[in-house]
Amino acid sequence: MGQFPLTLSRFITQSQATHPGGTGEFSSLLAQIGLVGKLIAQDLRRAGLISILGTTGEINVQGEPVKKLDEIANEIFLKVFRHGGLVCALASEEMEKPVLLPENWPQAKYLLLFDPLDGSSNTDCNMPLGAIFSVVMAPRKDRMPTEDDLVRKGTEQVAAGYLLYGSSTMLVYTVGQGAHGFTLEPEIGEYLLSHEQLHIPARGKVYGVNEGNYHKWATGTKKYVDYLKFQDKATGRPYSGRYSGCLVADVHRILLGGGLYLYPGEMDRPDGKLRLLYEANPLAWVVEQAGGRASTGTMRILDVEAKNLHQRVPLIIGSANDVRDAEKFIQGICEP
Ligand code: AHG
Ligand code: MN
Ligand code: MN
């Protein structure tokens, strides 16, 4: 009989053993993310049967209509992390202000930022969804965290990753020692190691972008996307277009097979749509840990100075050589 795959908790414990400073808290933190994933997946599996599709009628801080499932997923994150004493403040794409947890302070070392449900436009048509999380260290022990403590540069993350609710539920994360993927085994309710040390190919043949926005893009972005469609056997063009409406699912495809995802700046929205703290930073770190690249078009995502909680940023992420090509076009260094 072959060896039984490693469970998430065992994998983390083993990785921690190589780091004498490891306290076991990361293990608990990731186990809680895993629990969030199980709870949300449970709702998603029967979403069409239990009146949780559609919108709540509210508009969130991002100016977008709130789906019932956005709210449910957000509540699940809050419920799980209020307990356990690991996190003393949380910030979510769905909440204007962070939630501070004085009851967990001062023992809780971490702050959690999350997009509770990514790809919300997919809820009502049974398409993939995700969640994205980012963890930073809480400030010194002599004071409770404030909103400013959550507004941190991507390089300050200590753990980051995503949950993908596709045909399987997956948890992919990094703590800076590579990126690893776990698949939820539904019969036993455990996440099992399915993708150890993810490695993204240096170049792919797939691009993901909402081309409906083409006429709002800068010239360099238009030229790059046009270039991807010209035939050239040497560089594998034309690339295939793949866009699901769920960033997590699109980035996951690219992480496994190569290529790139773009949500560029637009004429009336120069910073694009995606949020730096809840979406771009955590995915950028995962992709970099797998050998890929994540850029605004002019600089590394992880080096972007964070100024506020809901800041947006253009995102170009995926295979290192593909992202470099896109940067050259955007910066006007390269012409087709
Ligand atoms: P969210 O559902 O968390 O607001 O994120 C949606 C994001 C992302 O998942 C997706 O790639 C992109 O927005 C889709 O936006 P468009 O509909 O503008 O293409
Ligand atoms: Mn999102
Ligand atoms: Mn969301």
Here the CATH number for the domain that contains residue 85 is 3.30.540.10
Hey, how many other C-beta atoms are within 10 angstroms of the C-beta on 90? 21
CA distances from 295 to 57, 219, 315, 331 (A): 35, 18, 6, 12
Nearest residue CA, atom 15 of ligand 1? 245
165 and 217 both lie in a single domain: no
Boundary (domain end) residue, out of 169, 195, 221: 195
According to the model, what pLDDT value does residue 106 have? 87
150 and 241 assigned to the same domain? no
Indicate if ligand 1 lies below 6 Å from the C-beta of 210. yes
CA–centroid distance, 17 to ligand 3, in Å, is: 35
- 222 CA to centre of ligand 1 in angstroms: 20
Q: Are 54 and 173 in a shared domain?
A: yes
For atom 18 of ligand 1, which residue has the closest CA?
A: 210
Pair of tokens at residue 105: 């302070």
Pocket test for ligand 1, best of 210, 251, 252, 283 (most atoms within 8 A of CB): 210
Residue 227 has pLDDT above 90, yes or no: yes
Query: Ligand 1, atom 6: nearest CA belongs to which residue?
Result: 119
Structural domains in the chain (count): 2
Residue 212 and residue 259 share a domain: yes
**Separation of 246 CA from ligand 1 center, angstroms?**
6
Q: What six digits make up the tokens of 197?
A: 């040390």
- Say how far apart CA 130 and CA 200 lie, in whole Å: 20
Query: Quick check: is 263 in a domain?
Result: yes
User: Ligand 1, closest atom to CA 246?
Assistant: 9
At residue 62 the predicted structure's pLDDT band, cuts being 50, 70 and 90, is confident
Is residue 336 one of the residues assigned to a domain?
no
Q: What pLDDT does 189 receive?
A: 95
CB 298 within 8 Å of CB 330: yes
**Same domain for 79 and 222?**
no
Ligand 1: residue whose CA is nearest its atom 11: 247
Mean pLDDT of 286-308: 98
pLDDT at 22: 63
Structural domain span for residue 245? 206-330
Share of residues in the chain with pLDDT > 90 (%): 82
Amino acid 307 reads K
Q: For residues 161 and 135, give the distance between their C-alpha atoms in angstroms, rounded to a whole number.
A: 9
Any atom of ligand 1 within 6 Å of the Cβ of 128: no
Under 8 Å CB-to-CB from 287, ≥6 apart: which residues?
179, 200, 251, 255, 293, 294, 317, 318
Listed in sequence order, the DSSP H helices in the chain are: 8-17, 25-45, 68-82, 147-150, 219-229, 247-257, 281-289, 320-330
Residue 229 sits in a domain whose CATH number is 3.40.190.80
The answer to whether residues 243 and 105 belong to one domain is no
Cα-to-centroid distance, 73 and ligand 3 (Å): 9
Quick check: bond before 139 cis, omega within 30?
Answer: no
Q: Cβ of 47: how many Cβ atoms within 10 Å? A: 17
Residues 131 and 244 in one domain: no
For ion ligand 3, residues whose CB falls within 5 Å: 93, 115, 117-118
Secondary structure of 61-116 in HEC code, one letter for each residue: CCCCEEEHHHHHHHHHHHHHHHCCCCEEEEEECCCCCCEECHHHCCCCCEEEEEEE
Mutate to test the pocket of ligand 1, among 61, 118, 211, 316 (most ligand atoms within 8 A of CB): 118
Distances (CA, A) of 246 to 56, 250, 270: 20, 6, 21
Q: State whether 325 and 222 are in the same domain.
A: yes
Q: Is residue 2 part of a domain?
A: no
The verdict on residue 201 lying in a domain is no
* CA of 229 relative to ligand 3 center, distance in Å: 30
Specify if 25 maps to a domain.
Answer: yes
Residues with CB under 5 A from ligand 2 (ion): 115, 118
pLDDT in tens, 301-320: 999 999 999 999 999 999 99
Q: Domain boundary at 174, 195, 216, which?
A: 195
Over residues 237-258, the pLDDT tens digits come to 999 999 999 999 999 999 999 9
Residue nearest to atom 19 of ligand 1 (CA): 210
Q: How confident is the model at residue 52 (pLDDT cuts 50, 70, 90)?
A: confident
Residue 335 belongs to a domain: no
d(CA 140, CA 300): 28
Question: Do 175 and 58 fall within a single domain?
Answer: yes
90 confidence band (pLDDT: 50, 70, 90): very high
Based on the fold, state whether residues 226 and 249 are members of the same structural domain.
yes
Is 3 part of a structural domain of the chain?
no
pLDDT in tens, 3-29: 788 999 889 888 877 665 566 788 889
Q: How far apart are CA 286 and CA 218, in angstroms?
A: 28
pLDDT tens for each residue of 97-141 = 999 999 998 889 999 999 999 999 999 999 999 999 999 999 877
Are residues 286 and 190 both part of a single domain? no
Per-residue CA distances from 314 to 3, 25, 173, 199, 273 (Å): 43, 33, 22, 24, 7
Give a yes or no: residue 309 inside a domain. Answer: yes
The overall pTM is greater than 0.95: yes
Cβ–ligand 1 distance for 28 under 6 Å, the answer no
pLDDT at residue 47 in the model = 87
Same domain, 307 and 171: no
Regarding the beta carbon of 245 and ligand 1, being less than 6 Å apart is answered: yes
- Domain endpoint, select from 155, 174, 195: 195
**pLDDT > 70 fraction of the chain, expressed in percent and rounded:** 97
Nearest residue (CA) to ligand 1, atom 12 = 245
Q: In whole angstroms, what is the distance from residue 168 CA to residue 191 CA?
A: 11
